[in-house]
Structure formats: structure tokens, C-alpha cells
Amino acid sequence: MNQFEYIRATEQAAAVKALVKDANTQFIAGGTNLIDLMKMGVAKPDKLVDITRLPLKDIKKTPTGIHIGALALNSQVAENSLILQHHPVLALALNSGATQQLRNMATVGGNMLQRTRCGYFFDVNMPCNKREPGSGCGAIGGINRMHAIFGASESCIAVHPSDMCVALAALDATVTVLGPKGERRMPFADFHRLPGDHPEHDNTLQKGELILGVDIPDARQTKNVAYLKVRDRTSYAFALVSVAAVLNIEGGIIKNAKLAMGGVAHKPWRLHAAEASLIGKQATIDNFKQAAQIAMQGAKTYKYNEFKVKLGHNTIVQALKTAASVA
């Protein structure tokens, strides 16, 4: 680990100013991802700005939904009565990630900013355009079992590791950030980006911006939800494929559907076409299978991850069955 300077911010504006002032500076809160990257030599900040004293830990009801501060702990969000009542799919997703100890340290903002777990990214002796732009992508011709089948590029086929972010994508959340030019808001779907020619950029944050929190709009229905995560072991493992499903069912008819996948792209992958195919139809297995088939169209596989197409299809069907309580 390289030597670094540590400072503690007590005001939001001061935290932003510190990040703008020094080029190789990073925020730190729970540190559950950043410290690992520093130990492995992947991240080498000259300065860390501790933001844990900032007043960004609230979880509260608003006139239009629920606000979650960027420094709210993952465990606090998962156990919060407002979340359990209004957006249980988020609690399901959070509880499927990492371990209880890590969830007690990890923050919502940090979860959003966590970096890929691609082995080539973590190994500083291997080529990785995300870690070292222009060095190549070792995963494309290497061991790519865990890698993307949607939205990848010739520069990078890594996947985003978060469970929480898959649920927030399905819930149409909004992100608020603070930067040198003031506050701005963006749809959660626009926060993370696909790799394109610049996989070193995981998100659309501008220089010096600090995540303040996320807002989730009110849901018309909270009963028919599911988060299904398929992984190599039952705990402390990242998703091969995951699905967040939120359905509004009235009289057996699907009035609205929201679906997102994890483990398949560089960002949480929203399934808009599959959602549209379900609206106005009965909650039946045949209709779920049709939606899953639509969702998996356009998938591009590599040598070791062809199984993800069938696995993705089956996971979507099972998540929809669970959400709709269909046997």
C-alpha cells in the first residue's frame, strides 16, 4: 500500500473542495472496497478524505417517496421499517450481498461506487483497460466465466458487482450529487455507464462530485417483489446472474412490471422490453417465459460464459414466479 495523507471533512463543501484541489484524492467512508484495492496496488490515492462525519445518514419519508442518505449503512437500509414497508425488494437485494459484518460498514454511496471484481482488474500483473487504459483486456481471451453478456465492448467485458444497485435500477431511483457547480440530480439508470472506449470510468460523476443520496419514488404495489441471486455458493459470493422483479398485479393481470439484472453487464441492466411484454397480461408461467426470452435477446457470450444465457432466462422466470406467487 502506498503512503497517503488522511484528512477528515466536517462539511460537504469542504469535502468537494478537497477533492477538486488535489487530482489524486478519493473519498473514503466504510472503505470495504477501497482499502482492498489499495492493499493490492490497484488504487493508489495520495490523499483520502474521510466523509463519515457528514450528515448524510438519514432514511426518511418524503412527499414523493423515500430518501436515503449516501452514508446510510447497507445494514441500516435493509432493516429500516420504511424500506421494508415500501420497497422490500431493496432489502432483499442488500441482504443477499456480502456478509453482515461488511453490510455493517458499507455505505449506500460506497456500494454505488464499488468497482468490478474481475480478476484481471485486481491482478496488477495482467492487462486491464479499466485499471490501466490501453493495456488491453485480459478477460476477453482469458477466463471469462463471470463476465458480461450485455453492453460490453472490445475494451472491457467486466460486470458491475452490486446487488443493491440492481434493485435501485428497477425502482427508478434518482441520485443527487454535489460538486463545484452545485447540486444536480440524475436518474439512477444514468449513474453507471457502459465501458465503451473508456472502461476506466465506471460512472458519470464529474470531477469533485460527492454523492448526497438517492430518492426512490412511491410504489403503487409492494407485495409482488423478488430478488433472486444465483451464485457459486450461498453467501459472500458475487452474482453469476441476479434479477430484481417488481410487479403490480390486479385481478391476476400485470398492470406494471419493473425488471433489472445483475452479473450480466458493466452496469445494472434494466429489461425495458421484457417489462413492456408483461403489461396487460396474466401472471402466468408462459408469459414469464416469453418475457425472459425477450430479455435475453442480443446477448453476446464468450468462451466460458455461454451458460449465462440459459441461466439468465431461467432466473428471470423464477424471479417472476416468486414475485407473482405462481407455483
Q: Does some domain include residue 163?
A: no
Q: Does some domain include residue 149?
A: no
Q: Does some domain include residue 95?
A: no
Quote the pLDDT of residue 199.
98
Q: Kindly give, in sequence order, each residue whose CB lies less than 8 Å from that of residue 223, ignoring residues fewer than 6 positions away.
A: none
Q: What is the pLDDT of residues 137-148, one digit of tens each?
A: 999 999 999 999
pTM for this prediction: 0.97
Q: Does some domain include residue 167?
A: no
Quote the pLDDT of residue 327.
64
Asked if 264 contacts 149 with a C-beta cutoff of 8 angstroms, the reply is yes
Picking from 317, 311, 268, the residue whose alpha carbon sits closest to that of residue 289 is: 317
Quote the pLDDT of residue 122.
96
- Number of domains observed in the structure of the chain: 2
CA distance 25 to 19: 6
Weakly modelled stretches of the chain, pLDDT under 70: 327
Domain hosting 44: range is 5-49
Q: Does some domain include residue 185?
A: no
CA distance 23 to 210: 15
Quote the pLDDT of residue 191.
98
Cα distances from 78 to residues 31, 74, 81, 82, 324, in angstroms, run: 19, 6, 9, 10, 22
Q: Does some domain include residue 29?
A: yes
Question: Which residue shows C-alpha cell 451458460?
Answer: 307
Q: What is the pLDDT of residues 217-256, one digit of tens each?
A: 998 778 899 999 999 998 889 999 999 999 999 999 999 9
Q: Does some domain include residue 139?
A: no
Q: Does some domain include residue 105?
A: no
